[in-house]
Structure 1
C-alpha cells in the first residue's frame, strides 16, 4: 500500500512538473488567476483522492466505486469554493483562461482514474 502511494505520488509530481512547465511556457497573456495554484490544487486533490481510495478499498472493497464518485463531487465542489472569486465571478474569461482551467483538470483526472482503476482491479 505504501509503495503504491509513493509511486503514485512520484508520478503525479512528475506530471505536475512537466505539464506546468510546458503550459506556463506557452502562456502569452496575463490571466485572472494564477496557473500554478490551479495545478497545485489538482495535485493535492488527486493525491488525497488516491490515498482515500487506498484506505476504502482495503476496508470496504465493495463500496470503493461509490466512494470514488463521492470524492469526485467533493473535489469539484472544493475547487469551486476555492476559486470562485478569481474564476467564477469573472464573466469575461477568455478562451485561453478556459483552457487553462480545463487542461489540468483532465490531465490529473486521467492519471487519477488510471491509478484507481488499477487499484480496484488488483483487489
Structure 2
C-alpha cells in the first residue's frame, strides 16, 4: 500500500518536472508569450491527479467501497474542472481570448496528467475487480 502511494507521488512529481521543463523549452524556443503562470497550472493538474489516485487507492481498502470505485472516480473529473475554474478564474479565465500557445499549454498539461491518472485508476480498478 505504501509502495503504491509512493509510486503515485514520484510518478506525478517526475511527470510534473518533465512537462514543466518541456513547456519552458518550447516557450523559450518559439518566443511565445504566456500571460499566466504555467507553473501553477501544471502544479494544480499534477497535485489534483495525484490526490485522486491516492484517495481512490485508500478507498479501495474498504470492502464496502470496492464495487463503487468507478462511480467514485467519475465525479472527480467534474470536481477537478470546477476547482480549476475557481482557482484560476482571475489568472487564466480573466484573460479573455487565449492565444494558441496558451491553449496548448493548458491542454497538453491537462491531457498528460489525465493520461497518467487514468492509467493508475485502471490499475486500481483491476486490482479490486479482476473481470475488468
Whether the 8 Å contact between 2:52 and 2:76 is mirrored in structure 1 is yes
How many residues get paired? 123
Relative to structure 2, which stretch is displaced further, 46-55 or 103-112? 46-55
Give the alignment's TM-score, normalised by structure 2: 0.88
**Is the 8 Å Cα contact of residues 56 and 63 (structure 1) preserved in structure 2?**
no
When normalised by structure 1's length, the TM-score is 0.95
Deviation at 1:26, TM superposition (A): 0.8
Quote the offset at 1:29 in angstroms: 2.1
Counterpart position of 2:5: 5
SS in 2 for 1:30: coil
Structure 1 segments unaligned to the other structure (5+ residues): none
Larger Rg: 2
Contact 1:57 1:63 (C-alpha < 8 Å) held by counterparts: no
The gaps in structure 2 that reach 5 residues or longer are: none
Larger fraction in helix: 1
